[in-house]
Amino acid sequence: MKKIAVYPGTFDPITNGHFDLVKRGLKLFDRIIIAVALNPQKKTLFSINERVSLINSMITNQPSLEVHVLDKLVVNFAKTHSATIILRGLRAISDFEYEVQLASMNRSMEPNIESVFMSPAEEFSFLSSSIVKDIARHGGNLEKYVHQDVAKALKEKLQ
Protein backbone atom coordinates (compact mmCIF):
# COMPACT_ATOMS: atom_id res chain seq x y z
CA MET A 1 0.00 0.00 0.00
CA LYS A 2 1.39 3.36 -1.02
CA LYS A 3 1.92 5.99 1.64
CA ILE A 4 0.29 9.20 0.42
CA ALA A 5 0.70 12.41 2.40
CA VAL A 6 -1.10 15.71 2.09
CA TYR A 7 0.97 18.82 2.84
CA PRO A 8 -1.56 21.62 3.39
CA GLY A 9 -0.76 25.31 3.59
CA THR A 10 -1.44 28.73 2.21
CA PHE A 11 1.97 28.88 0.51
CA ASP A 12 1.76 32.62 -0.11
CA PRO A 13 4.38 32.14 -1.48
CA ILE A 14 6.00 28.74 -1.15
CA THR A 15 9.49 29.08 0.33
CA ASN A 16 12.61 26.95 0.22
CA GLY A 17 11.68 25.90 3.76
CA HIS A 18 8.35 24.50 2.56
CA PHE A 19 10.03 22.78 -0.35
CA ASP A 20 12.77 21.36 1.88
CA LEU A 21 10.03 19.63 3.89
CA VAL A 22 8.52 18.25 0.70
CA LYS A 23 11.86 16.87 -0.53
CA ARG A 24 12.63 15.26 2.82
CA GLY A 25 9.06 13.99 3.08
CA LEU A 26 9.56 12.05 -0.15
CA LYS A 27 12.06 9.89 1.76
CA LEU A 28 9.17 8.78 3.97
CA PHE A 29 6.16 8.84 1.65
CA ASP A 30 5.54 7.49 -1.84
CA ARG A 31 3.57 10.55 -2.91
CA ILE A 32 2.98 14.02 -1.50
CA ILE A 33 0.04 16.17 -2.49
CA ILE A 34 0.73 19.84 -1.88
CA ALA A 35 -2.70 21.21 -0.94
CA VAL A 36 -2.85 24.96 -1.48
CA ALA A 37 -5.44 26.36 0.89
CA LEU A 38 -8.18 28.62 -0.33
CA ASN A 39 -8.70 30.54 2.88
CA PRO A 40 -10.92 33.62 2.53
CA GLN A 41 -9.96 34.69 6.08
CA LYS A 42 -6.36 35.25 4.98
CA LYS A 43 -5.54 38.17 2.74
CA THR A 44 -3.03 36.63 0.35
CA LEU A 45 -0.66 38.44 -1.99
CA PHE A 46 -1.03 35.78 -4.69
CA SER A 47 -4.31 34.37 -5.96
CA ILE A 48 -4.98 30.66 -5.53
CA ASN A 49 -4.25 30.08 -9.23
CA GLU A 50 -0.95 31.98 -8.99
CA ARG A 51 0.15 29.97 -5.95
CA VAL A 52 -0.73 26.66 -7.63
CA SER A 53 1.06 27.74 -10.81
CA LEU A 54 4.22 28.78 -8.94
CA ILE A 55 4.39 25.44 -7.14
CA ASN A 56 3.74 23.53 -10.37
CA SER A 57 6.68 25.37 -11.98
CA MET A 58 8.91 23.99 -9.19
CA ILE A 59 7.84 20.36 -9.41
CA THR A 60 8.04 19.58 -13.11
CA ASN A 61 9.26 16.03 -13.83
CA GLN A 62 8.53 14.91 -10.26
CA PRO A 63 5.75 12.33 -10.56
CA SER A 64 5.68 11.77 -6.79
CA LEU A 65 4.41 15.32 -6.27
CA GLU A 66 1.03 16.84 -7.08
CA VAL A 67 -0.52 20.23 -6.42
CA HIS A 68 -4.23 20.77 -5.76
CA VAL A 69 -6.46 23.48 -4.37
CA LEU A 70 -7.62 22.77 -0.82
CA ASP A 71 -11.16 24.10 -0.46
CA LYS A 72 -12.54 21.75 2.22
CA LEU A 73 -11.51 20.22 5.51
CA VAL A 74 -8.07 18.70 5.12
CA VAL A 75 -9.26 15.29 6.41
CA ASN A 76 -11.98 15.21 3.75
CA PHE A 77 -9.45 16.28 1.12
CA ALA A 78 -7.08 13.52 2.29
CA LYS A 79 -9.81 10.87 2.06
CA THR A 80 -10.73 12.05 -1.44
CA HIS A 81 -7.10 11.53 -2.50
CA SER A 82 -6.58 8.23 -0.60
CA ALA A 83 -4.05 9.91 1.69
CA THR A 84 -3.56 8.62 5.21
CA ILE A 85 -1.04 11.22 6.39
CA ILE A 86 -1.13 14.96 6.93
CA LEU A 87 2.39 16.42 6.77
CA ARG A 88 3.01 19.56 8.82
CA GLY A 89 6.09 21.63 9.52
CA LEU A 90 7.13 22.85 12.96
CA ARG A 91 9.56 25.77 12.90
CA ALA A 92 9.48 26.72 16.56
CA ILE A 93 7.99 25.67 19.84
CA SER A 94 5.35 28.36 19.29
CA ASP A 95 3.98 26.31 16.35
CA PHE A 96 3.68 23.17 18.47
CA GLU A 97 0.57 23.89 20.53
CA TYR A 98 -1.50 24.98 17.52
CA GLU A 99 -0.34 22.04 15.39
CA VAL A 100 -1.08 19.50 18.14
CA GLN A 101 -4.55 21.03 18.53
CA LEU A 102 -5.15 20.70 14.77
CA ALA A 103 -3.83 17.13 14.74
CA SER A 104 -6.13 16.16 17.62
CA MET A 105 -9.14 17.71 15.92
CA ASN A 106 -8.32 16.00 12.62
CA ARG A 107 -7.88 12.65 14.38
CA SER A 108 -11.24 13.09 16.13
CA MET A 109 -12.90 13.62 12.74
CA GLU A 110 -10.96 10.91 10.90
CA PRO A 111 -9.07 8.40 13.09
CA ASN A 112 -7.46 6.69 10.08
CA ILE A 113 -5.50 9.79 9.09
CA GLU A 114 -2.31 10.51 11.03
CA SER A 115 -0.47 13.81 11.35
CA VAL A 116 3.31 13.74 10.92
CA PHE A 117 5.41 16.70 12.01
CA MET A 118 8.80 17.55 10.55
CA SER A 119 11.12 20.34 11.49
CA PRO A 120 12.79 22.35 8.75
CA ALA A 121 16.46 22.14 7.97
CA GLU A 122 18.36 24.55 10.21
CA GLU A 123 18.97 27.07 7.43
CA PHE A 124 15.19 27.44 6.99
CA SER A 125 14.08 27.33 10.63
CA PHE A 126 13.46 31.10 10.71
CA LEU A 127 11.86 31.34 7.29
CA SER A 128 8.22 32.16 6.66
CA SER A 129 6.19 33.44 3.73
CA SER A 130 5.56 36.67 5.66
CA ILE A 131 9.28 37.29 6.13
CA VAL A 132 9.95 36.54 2.46
CA LYS A 133 7.28 39.05 1.40
CA ASP A 134 8.85 41.65 3.71
CA ILE A 135 12.29 41.08 2.19
CA ALA A 136 10.79 41.39 -1.29
CA ARG A 137 8.91 44.60 -0.40
CA HIS A 138 12.20 46.16 0.65
CA GLY A 139 14.14 45.01 -2.41
CA GLY A 140 16.22 42.39 -0.61
CA ASN A 141 17.91 39.40 -2.21
CA LEU A 142 15.57 36.39 -2.22
CA GLU A 143 17.75 33.73 -3.87
CA LYS A 144 18.44 31.79 -0.63
CA TYR A 145 14.80 31.81 0.44
CA VAL A 146 12.63 31.03 -2.60
CA HIS A 147 12.79 29.38 -6.02
CA GLN A 148 13.78 31.76 -8.83
CA ASP A 149 10.26 31.69 -10.31
CA VAL A 150 8.82 32.73 -6.95
CA ALA A 151 11.40 35.54 -6.60
CA LYS A 152 10.50 36.83 -10.05
CA ALA A 153 6.76 36.67 -9.31
CA LEU A 154 7.25 38.52 -6.00
CA LYS A 155 9.23 41.30 -7.69
CA GLU A 156 6.58 41.67 -10.41
CA LYS A 157 3.71 41.61 -7.92
CA LEU A 158 5.26 44.19 -5.62
CA GLN A 159 6.44 46.70 -8.28
91 is catalytic: yes
Nearest to 33, CA basis, from 128, 113, 146, 107? 113
**Alpha-helix runs per DSSP H in 36-127:** 48-58, 74-80, 93-109
What are the percentages of helix, strand and coil residues in the chain, rounded to 5? 45, 20, 40
* Phi and psi torsions of 72, nearest 5°: -150, 180
Catalytic-labelled residue, pool 31, 129, 133, 147: 129
138 is catalytic: no
Catalytic-labelled residue, pool 18, 31, 51, 133: 18
Catalytic-labelled residue, pool 81, 91, 107, 152: 91
Catalytic-labelled residue, pool 42, 43, 108, 138: 42
Nearest to 76, CA basis, from 53, 24, 68? 68
2 is catalytic: no
Residue count of the chain: 159
- Helix (H), strand (E) at residue 156: helix 148-158
129 is catalytic: yes
Q: Report the catalytic residues.
A: 18, 42, 91, 129
